[in-house]
Amino acid sequence: MENLVINPSLADLGLTAILFGIVILLSVREQLSLERTFTYAAFRAVVQLLLVGYLIEQVFHLDRWYWVVILLITMSIIAAKAGADRIKSKLPGLSLLVWVAIFAGTIIDTFIVTEVILKIDPWWDPRYLLPLAGMIMGNALNSGSLAGERFISEMRNRKAEIETMLILGFSSARACEDMKRVAVRNSLIPTLNAMFTVGLVHLPGMMTGQILGGVDPIIASKYQIIVMFMVASTVIITALILIKLLQRKYFTAAHQLRYNLL
Amino acid sequence: MIEIKNAFFSHPSQEYLISGLHFTLNKGELIFITGESGCGKSTFLKLLNRLLEPTSGSFELHGQRYSSFDTLKLRRKIQLVPQTPFLTQALVIDNLTLASKPEEDRIEMLMDGFNLSLDILHKSGNELSVGQAQRLCVIRALLLKPEVILLDEPTAALDPKNRSDFRSSFEKIRKDEGIATVWVTHDDPEGMEGKILHMENGKLGN
């Protein structure tokens, strides 16, 4: 089988307007009032995707490690903002905590995947580093917002329990151990569910992309296995780092709860 | 044994709840604290237990500053029983022994002392009445063998008969074990020996 990749022309891309039209038409017909939101979301998504495609192409072209790093840092800042926005709480400095968790989680996992497993050379080869780090970051974002949201709501709802544990002479880490467990498990549920059905019900985005891009399906599934474990470890690392940081925010060094933050 | 000088406390960006407070508690002493709701009585107990940090002032136990003790050990010595009792849904016996490994005899003695049947030890912590939970929280604190116990309205959820029973049960154990006690109450502590201090404007007075 020849590796023929169909490269959609701009005119072909324009034909996706048919699919866009279907959504608008159904929204109007069924009175879903989604037209405005969907149009805005569609406009943003198209602009973002074209822009990122262009940016990555430029980074490929410039071929310098620092451009790759600058792009990754920018992506992580945007991810942190999006992650913090998804958490309902208005905890001061939350975006920074989310950024540290996402960045640390991404660095650890990206290093393992690109240096230990794939051994890419040079280490910053944007063709591998950007899509893999981007995928890791996307998962870190989801995990961070799920874990953060749940941990904060557990802290609020279980104030009496935390107070009791502190009074009885337990450390702040021990006092919110159960809240941590609940929050981390909560952030891992989507990944676990996906692992059970992967390949059976759906082909994951990256695998689909690689097959469409002409890669041998066996190679695509090998990559998907790497991605699957990469996602699971990113989720748990990011969630635990964020919760650790939140714990430090909620308690003083003398194991006192900062009531004003609840 | 506890000596507080010129204590101030305010939550961030709020007025002082405790302001220029002086307080002394001697070994085995019982002190009642009365005052209107929101005057800072519960806050004062949380400061004594170091659950809250004072804005300023000196807090000493046995002549040593609170900050020189390990906070977690200090809290075990100065036990607070909050106004709202908290027990997990685990068995009552597991709730009682969460923070200590007491002898069975001591649990039985305290259960008996507070008119609680031993049968409830194997019930879930959330199957109890507020009055039972409140007494169990006092027992859980006593099992840690504290030097000081801080009670925040421990009889608020009890009817007059149980209230009077609680007072006499607690009084006996307190005297037997020589535990210094600070007891915040809305009721008239008439009939019990002990000093009564009134809290007003963030200070304690007679």
Looking at the predicted complex, does its ipTM rise above 0.90?
Answer: yes
User: For residue A224, what are its two tokens?
Assistant: 């998907």
**B98 closest CB neighbour out of A168, A257, A260:** A168
For residue B202, the distance in angstroms to the closest alpha carbon of chain A comes to 19
> What pLDDT does residue A45 have?
93
Q: What is the pLDDT of residue B181?
A: 96
Cβ-defined contact of A161 to B86 (cutoff 8 Å): yes
d(CA B116, CA B119): 8
Chain B residues closer than 8 Å to A167 by CB? 49, 51, 75, 79-80, 82
Tell me the nearest-neighbour CA distance from A261 into chain B, angstroms: 10
Which chain B residues touch A if contact means CB-CB below 8 Å?
A: 11-12, 49-53, 67, 71-73, 75-76, 79-80, 82, 84, 86, 88, 98-99, 140, 144
Residues of chain B with C-beta less than 8 angstroms from the C-beta of A171: 72
Backbone angles phi, psi at A63, to 5 degrees: 55, 45
Q: Averaged over B188-206, what is the pLDDT? A: 83
Provide the angle, in degrees to the nearest 10, between the axes of the packed helices B104-113 and B130-143: 140
Q: How far is B169 from chain A (nearest CA, A)?
A: 22
CB atoms within 10 A of CB A144: 33
Where are the domains positioned within chain A? 8-62, 65-261
Query: CB–CB of A168 and B12 under 8 A?
Result: no
Q: Which residue of B has its CA nearest to A160?
A: B86
Residue B22: its H or E element: strand B18-25
Instruction: Quick: pLDDT tens for B110-160.
Output: 999 898 999 999 999 888 988 899 999 999 999 999 999 999 999 887 888
Find chain B residues with C-beta within 8 A of A163's C-beta.
51, 82, 86
Give yes or no for residue B14 having a pLDDT over 80: no
Q: Which residue of B49, B50, B72 to mutate against A (max A Cβ within 10 Å)?
A: B72
Which amino acid is located at A1 in the chain? M
Looking at the predicted structure, is the pLDDT value of residue B8 above 70? yes
* Nearest residue of A to residue B146, measured between CA atoms: A168
Cβ count within 10 A of residue B61: 20
Contact B53 A255 (CB under 8 A): no
The pLDDT profile of chain A, 262 residues, written as one tens digit per residue, is: 455 678 888 888 889 999 999 999 999 999 999 999 999 999 999 999 999 889 889 999 999 999 999 999 999 999 999 999 999 888 999 999 999 999 999 999 999 999 999 999 999 999 899 989 998 999 999 999 999 999 999 999 999 999 999 999 999 999 999 999 999 999 999 999 988 888 887 788 888 888 888 899 999 999 889 988 999 999 999 999 999 999 999 999 999 999 889 8
pLDDT at position B156 is 84
C-alpha to C-alpha distance for A248 and A135, rounded to whole angstroms: 28
* Exposure class string for B34-54: b at 16+ Cβ within 10 A, else e: bbeeebbbbbbbbbbbbbbbb
Question: Model pTM?
Answer: 0.86
Average pLDDT, chain B: 91
The answer to whether A169 and B69 have CB atoms below 8 angstroms apart is: no
